[in-house]
A = this chain, B = another copy of it.
Amino acid sequence: MQNSAGLKIVIIGCGNVAWHLANHLKDIKHNNLFVYNHKPNSKLTDFKNKLNCKAESSFNNIIADADFYFICVSDKFISDTAEKLKLINQNAIVVHTSGSMKIEAIEGFKNRAVFYPLQSFSKSDTIKWSEIPIIIETENLYTKRKISNFSKLFSKHVKHLNYEDRLKLHLAAVFVNNFTNALFVAAFDIVSSNSSNAKFDLLLPLIKQTVLKIENMPALNAQTGPAKRGDNKVLKKHLRLLSGKTDLKKIYKQLSDLIVKQQTNKHA
Task: List residues of A whose CB falls within 8 A of some B CB.
Answer: 75-76, 100, 118-122, 125, 128, 131-133, 135, 157, 159, 161, 164-188, 190-191, 193, 196-198, 200, 202-211, 213-215, 218-220, 222-228, 231, 233-234, 237-238, 241-242, 247-248, 250-252, 254-255, 257-259, 261-262
Q: Smallest distance from the beta carbon of A47 to chain B beta carbons, Å?
A: 21
Contact with A118, one of B172, B206, B218, B227 (Cβ below 8 angstroms): B206
14 A-B pairs besides A76-B233, A118-B205 with CB distance below 8 A are: A75-B234, A119-B205, A119-B209, A133-B202, A135-B202, A161-B197, A167-B238, A171-B242, A176-B206, A176-B207, A179-B259, A180-B183, A181-B222, A188-B218
A174: chain B residues within 8 A (beta carbon)? 225-227, 238, 252
Q: A190-B172, A209-B120, A255-B251 are in contact. Are A215 and B224 (CB under 8 A)?
A: no
**Chain A binding surface SS class:** helix
Contacts of A76 in B (CB 8 A): 233
Q: In the complex, what residue of chain B is closest to A235 when comparing beta carbons?
A: B174
CB neighbours of A191 from chain B (8 A) = 165, 168-169, 172
A266 CB to nearest chain B CB (Å): 9
Contact A258 B184 (CB under 8 A): no
Whether the Cβ atoms of B165 and A196 lie closer than 8 Å is yes
- A204: B residues at CB distance < 8 A: 214-215
Contacts of A182 in B (CB 8 A): 223, 255, 258-259, 262
Cβ contact of A203, chosen from B75, B173, B196, cutoff 8 A? B173
Contacts of A181 in B (CB 8 A): 210, 213-214, 219, 222-223
Minimum Cβ distance to chain B for residue A31 (Å)? 28
A171's contact among B75, B205, B238, by CB below 8 Å, is which? B238
Contact A241 B168 (CB under 8 A): yes
| Inter-subunit contact B178/A213 (CB<8 Å) | no
A257 (CB) vs chain B CBs: closest residue: B247
A75 interface neighbour in B119, B168, B233, B255, Cβ under 8 Å: B233
Q: How far is the CA of A228 from the CA of B169 in the complex (A)?
A: 19
**What would 23 A/B residue contacts be, using CB atoms closer than 8 Å?**
A75-B233, A100-B233, A100-B234, A100-B237, A122-B224, A133-B202, A133-B205, A159-B202, A168-B198, A174-B238, A174-B252, A175-B190, A176-B183, A177-B207, A180-B180, A180-B207, A184-B214, A185-B262, A186-B262, A204-B214, A247-B261, A248-B258, A251-B258
CB pair A222 B122 closer than 8 Å? yes
